[in-house]
Structure 1
């Protein structure tokens, strides 16, 4: 991993280094051609999580002189996301950074894109059986593990907990599985008393947690792999005396406010900016494989020599002490941009 990140760091620095040595005879190769465009595609496109990803995707694109666009569907619907992916592909972009809602349904669209010459990198969630050239994410297993330890330690290693989930979404499934596995392995006195599918819907999460509390009066914690469900879960906990610790992954402004107010226990938040920045770098490199001549069989096999199977973008632990560093509006003001509108 260190070698991979070092290689990418060198590539990121290359435009600056090359600019100093460029001459009339030697042009800087780390620049886009006129009209070279890179697109980001997501589902539930209004979710705040995506915005910092695109902000840094866009920044990297600007540094390379490329065009970028933010695309997707507002619905939590894999078919509608695929339709939006196909619409983006119809513009013949140089590359697409995509968060595939579900792994297998995206195999054919991704393969079709690669076959027509559009590089594809997945982020946060993967489609590992597709022809995508790279995958960038935080360590979902580490996130789930950390969340379990934090909850169990706060409860003295003994009590009841439940989980909310979004079955079929790769990264969410991994977080939930890691959370439960860690509890079973390290905290045998922590008892799983319920699981419910909230599918990123605050109302479903609210109703699910109310039902879980009614069925399990001693419920001490609930974990969910994303932010939207936490809004409803925290409300249900508050109505029952805030005895249920709400632990989640990801943040948004409402979540941050609730963490600061003590209504949410805490969050593990992926480093979204690096997902976007390094996601662009991986796409750009995949679209320019002629820049390297590796000592391997890529030329013979026809594979992309710039392929990097996996990059870990890291994650942060969000508490009341550091929550102010994660507000999107403050970040946007600091950067002086219009976010996803650019």
Structure 2
């Protein structure tokens, strides 16, 4: 009887050991030390911590005018999981802009938006990026001879014409005007000047006393404006066809306490304040606050192989004191 019980206990112990061994073997096969790969969590395209695309934005110079463009672009890029590389020479410098362009091409970014200082000189570098499979968009100033995919901005000839119409209305068809602009070879600036002069010369009896170029230099813009005022003290209005000349005129109007019409380009916070304070009469905006969003939107579409419009017209707005009320 005792031996029968012992045999039963031995049998149950053997069964327990067998089951335990099989269970342990199963655990060992599913252990993390095995060659089985655990699933890796992938980031979606909208995850801002893991950007899948990189776009470059190249300005002609570092200036507060472009801050609103960058802020707008960064907001859209963050939502879309896109990293932005924003670069600009300290002052308008063609060689530096070319080097920035070449660096982005070597980095094999997924798209480039550029406001070219010299549309002709930048053409081969824009084409080099396109040939490397990198979509390129121009904004504010175009490079029409290049293979760029799109231009985002306003019609600059029309912008010049609208400024001519505005000054004509203020002066009622007669008077003397001083004009300052940036770099002569920048396409957007040359078109604005052409549109302005064509209107003034053909539609009014207003005399343009002098036109000067600041070449993208803030100190030069100030000096030239002061010289023109000294040379033509009886002028009736000043027209700035670039934002550097416009910013300079605010300082000169404050320092000299001038009570003359001043028209400028761009809509920065400092210019809004200048309009309220009477240093600026009218500012022409090309709705540059839209550029950043449109840059990211159309570079993304181009990267995904979709067609994008050759010209994205952001329009023209004239802002005066009444518009700010």
Q: TM-score under structure 2 normalisation?
A: 0.78
**Does 2:58 correspond to 1:41?**
yes
Give the 5 Å matches for 1:91-130.
91-130=107-146
Which residue among 178, 182, 199 is the counterpart of 2:195? Answer: 178
User: Which range is displaced more, 202-211 or 247-256?
Assistant: 202-211
Q: Structure 1 residues 152 and 238 mapped into 2: Cα distance closer, same or farther (>3 Å)?
A: farther
User: Which range is displaced more, 232-241 or 68-77?
Assistant: 232-241
Q: What is the match of residue 300 of structure 2?
A: 284
3-state DSSP of counterpart to 1:127? coil
Q: Runs of 4+ in structure 1 displaced over 6 angstroms?
A: 29-33
Q: What is the match of residue 72 of structure 2?
A: 56
Q: Post-superposition shift, 1:103? A: 0.3
3-state DSSP of counterpart to 1:308? coil
Which runs of no fewer than 5 residues in structure 1 stay unpaired? Answer: 1-28, 292-305, 325-342
Q: What is the match of residue 319 of structure 1?
A: 320
User: Which range is displaced more, 53-62 or 163-172?
Assistant: 53-62
| CA distance in structure 1 between the aligned counterparts of 2:166 and 2:120, rounded to whole angstroms | 33
Q: Post-superposition shift, 1:193? A: 1.1
| CA distance in structure 1 between the aligned counterparts of 2:177 and 2:109, rounded to whole angstroms | 46
Q: Structure 1 residues 134 and 307 mapped into 2: Cα distance closer, same or farther (>3 Å)?
A: same
Which residue among 221, 232, 243 is the counterpart of 2:237? Answer: 221
Which residue among 246, 271, 276 is the counterpart of 2:287? Answer: 271
Give the 5 Å matches for 1:63-74.
63-74=79-90
Q: What is the match of residue 310 of structure 1?
A: 311
| CA distance in structure 1 between the aligned counterparts of 2:285 and 2:175, rounded to whole angstroms | 25
| CA distance in structure 2 between the aligned counterparts of 1:203 and 1:74, rounded to whole angstroms | 13
Let me know the Cα RMSD of the aligned residues: 2.4
Q: Post-superposition shift, 1:270? A: 1.6
Q: Post-superposition shift, 1:135? A: 0.8
Q: What is the match of residue 298 of structure 1?
A: none
| CA distance in structure 1 between the aligned counterparts of 2:73 and 2:106, rounded to whole angstroms | 21
Q: TM-score under structure 1 normalisation?
A: 0.75
Q: Answer whether contact 1:200 1:227 (CA < 8 A) is retained.
A: no
Greater Rg by CA: 2
Q: Answer whether contact 2:92 2:217 (CA < 8 A) is retained.
A: no
3-state DSSP of counterpart to 1:121? strand
Q: What is the match of residue 103 of structure 2?
A: 87
CA deviation vs aligned residue, 1:266-298 (integer Å, no higher than 9, x gap)? 110121232221222221121122x5xxxxxxx
Q: Post-superposition shift, 1:122? A: 0.5
